A and B are shown apart, each in its own frame.
Chain A
């Protein structure tokens, strides 16, 4: 039995029974989680491990930096475009390339589209089933469901007949035995708190959101030329504007611009009339379940994104905030400099990589990605079939990034805490209103539910920003500016012999950075720190736990053999293991194994 106090304030006790969840499902990629429960089923030790190795950085060596975006776009099955955007920004930063205003607006619309789409799909399709009991929905009274729906929103699809149809369809689907997305749920677990009617309403909106997502992604097709893997361009965007053109091919014309505009209107309506009312209705039943805060009340980090003007890197120019908060001091927001080797370092003491000296962290410009799969003495099982990890040694394919030595949480909640602390009215006012409506204090924000709520509010904010940048683009075009790309430095002969740059975005899951070194026209080194590297990081040499591990600590689990609460909190981060580690898995359909001993 070992009890350890971490420098970042958590008491770890690994004496209780150990539970293994592997893989954690309804996420992108592969992740394993082990926890120790005390005699009251409270989590007293948490271990999060990325179970795939990422080789993306090494295969980029020697490639043309203008092509890097296309490779990075393939490292994830969800947020393709955000990696591409981060990559082109890194290369532009290295080579000193500025972009036209129209390119900035179009990139913002692409990135915001991704944010909104990802948040919506996350809430309904990856996370809702941690709060919503599908089987309970079958017991709902359609008439009472209709009354509930009409009491919270003017959304038109709310008649008793509509909910009756949904219930019938759901029943048929469940009875066919082909549960698909609803397989492996812990239906009936006492941790589910919604009445059947709220469950049925949520299931109906699960289906509507699934249907609606097809509209949102059309924006990527318009500005990116295609979807799911839109085109990007170092120096701007690869779409010409020709307002007098007609049809769906050729340049962007008025018809295409109007299509985007109409999709933005529908998106705002769906978020405001479906997503946010659902979020608030579900939250009202879970107000007492305020576990999962983890690092959010102390250490959060955002790189910022969505520049209002092109080529202005200052924090004031960003519509999604940049800054770091440490030790819970909301009165002081630290400026973040991604080039500063004293600020950002990655450690591999507990990661399956090798550094010249494992105890010393490296800034990403000097980052090394060299695999070193070794297991600690106390590992149970074999190298190919691990029963229990030994977290005192190396135990994850995720590195441990730190900001000035601190483990940080990133993501929508981190962005909203930084924005709130900065007093940005477009962030602070909706947060205050939601908390007031639910009768909760500010502290309630630092929780699993707070993470889920921040994502919903951010979806609304981002959808309105889409409107803003679409209008700005239209105004600029009408004023005669049709420029979308700057190709002055396209040819490698215009580049310096050696250059290095950093590109950042706020991906749906949080702060994302790519660091590139270019030498003689080729990529010499490429490093990515993705949001789930921050959130899912293992321990560092000082013993600080990462955001996932911190968030699981001290959570009461209703049933040890049904770790619903663990999934709920992990899912609230929207983990994306496919890019935090990479791509070697055997069978994506393996059922989650839960082992208790």
Chain B
């Protein structure tokens, strides 16, 4: 059996950085997957993801990554192209980088045979407590389509649900957006040094 892990990485509390997790949540709500496929909201976890990565034969990652291209651009990478991006260009807080997780997997003698990454170039990261920006949100459907297409290449059949599953998670995108306090109530900007660095 080809065991497949679809892993969304990122922080949903930080605007476009939450893209990967939102992709996985949307996939889970809208499709039925066979038992060989596991979907995971990896958040900003590092080493804690290693066990799940080790168990997978094929690892599919959804993430917001700095590809140095136009904001909102969707990029896909395969196999050897993936680790380099997850190390050097990662814009996230995981100190134990995902590249390191893959390296440790290799040292343990179990790494996925196939890697596939679908990433988006973020537009907005300065909106603390915010949701996905419109251009990035528009990439949710195309990102899901790419992942489903990749699964199809692996002969994995995925059924679209007739009715989407419930979005009961307090951090589900709808509730997260609808219940957001106003900018007056809750400050939305971050570290000045970071903002200055972002503009260079």
Contact = CB atoms under 8 A, between A and B. Distances in A.
A181 B108 contact: no
Given A217-B51, A588-B97, A58 B103 contact: no
Given A55-B187, A213-B51, A384-B196, A583 B14 contact: yes
A303 interface: no
B113 interface: no
Interface string A73-93: 011011010000000000000
Given A180-B99, A583-B13, A585-B194, A207 B107 contact: yes
Interface in A1-44: 23, 25-30
B193 A384 contact: yes
B195 to A, nearest CB: 8
Contacts of B109: 169
Contact of A178 (B50, B89, B106, B180): B106
B196 A383 contact: yes
Contact of B12 (A74, A211, A214, A369): A74
A589 B45 CA distance: 15
Ranked nearest first, the 3 interchain pairs of A and B with the lowest CB-CB distance are A180-B103, A214-B51, A62-B181
A196 to B, nearest CB: 19
A257 interface: no
A60 B100 contact: no
13 contacts: A29-B95, A30-B95, A55-B128, A55-B190, A56-B13, A59-B129, A62-B181, A67-B175, A77-B44, A77-B95, A583-B190, A589-B90, A589-B97
A502 B186 CA distance: 21
A508 to B, nearest CB: 13
Given A59-B13, A61-B181, A585-B194, A213 B93 contact: no
Interface residues of B, number: 60
A214 B101 CA distance: 13
Contacts of A58: 129, 186-187
A217 B193 contact: no
A121 B49 CA distance: 13
B71 interface: no
A105 to B, nearest CB: 24
A228 interface: yes
Given A77-B93, A77-B94, A383 B192 contact: yes
A214 B54 contact: yes
A74 B107 contact: no
Interface in B98-121: 99-100, 103-104, 106-109
Contacts of A63: 179, 181
B186 A213 contact: no
B197 interface: yes
B151 to A, nearest CB: 22
Given A58-B129, A228-B43, 18 more contacts: A53-B191, A59-B128, A62-B181, A70-B171, A71-B170, A173-B107, A178-B103, A180-B99, A210-B50, A217-B48, A228-B41, A228-B48, A371-B187, A371-B192, A384-B193, A578-B93, A588-B90, A588-B93
Contact of A383 (B12, B181, B193): B193
Nearest to A397: B191
A358 interface: no
B40 to A, nearest CB: 8
A227 B55 CA distance: 15
Given A180-B100, A211-B108, A70 B88 contact: no
A521 to B, nearest CB: 12
B198 A586 contact: yes
A370 B179 CA distance: 22
A229 interface: yes
A157 B188 CA distance: 52
Interface string A151-184: 0000000000000000001100100001111000
B103 A207 contact: no
Contacts of A229: 41, 43
B107 A62 contact: no
A490 interface: no
A578 B129 CA distance: 16
A64 interface: yes
B182 A70 contact: no
A125 interface: yes
Contact of A589 (B43, B51, B88, B103): B88
Interface string B13-54: 110000000000000000000000000111111111111101
Contacts of A27: 95
Interface of B: 11-14, 40-52, 54-55, 87-97, 99-100, 103-104, 106-109, 128-129, 169-171, 175, 179-182, 185-188, 190-194, 196-198
Contacts of A52: 93, 191, 194
A586 B197 CA distance: 8
B104 A29 contact: no
A47 B145 CA distance: 50
A586 B87 contact: no
Given A373-B191, A384-B196, A583-B13, A125 B95 contact: no
Contact of B197 (A66, A173, A178, A384): A384
A69 to B, nearest CB: 8
Interface in A542-591: 578, 583-589
A535 B197 CA distance: 28
A52 B190 CA distance: 9
A368 to B, nearest CB: 11
A169 B106 CA distance: 10
Contact of A373 (B42, B55, B192): B192
Contact of B179 (A64, A210, A214): A64
B179 A583 contact: no
A202 B188 CA distance: 45
Contacts of A70: 169-171
Given A59-B129, A74-B13, A584 B50 contact: no
A62 B49 contact: no
A62 B186 contact: yes
A196 B50 CA distance: 28
B170 to A, nearest CB: 4
B182 A74 contact: no
B43 A53 contact: no
Interface in A109-163: 121, 125
Nearest to A63: B179
Contacts of B94: 77, 588
B194 A78 contact: no
A210 B108 contact: yes
A589 B169 contact: no
Most chain B Cβ neighbours within 10 Å, of A29, A52, A180, A370 = A180
A214 B186 contact: no
B93 A585 contact: yes
Contacts of A169: 107, 109
A229 B40 CA distance: 10
A60 B188 CA distance: 11
Contacts of B48: 78, 213, 217, 227-228
Contact of A180 (B11, B51, B104, B188): B104
Contact of B95 (A26, A61, A67, A586): A26
Given A74-B11, A383-B193, A384-B196, A55 B90 contact: no
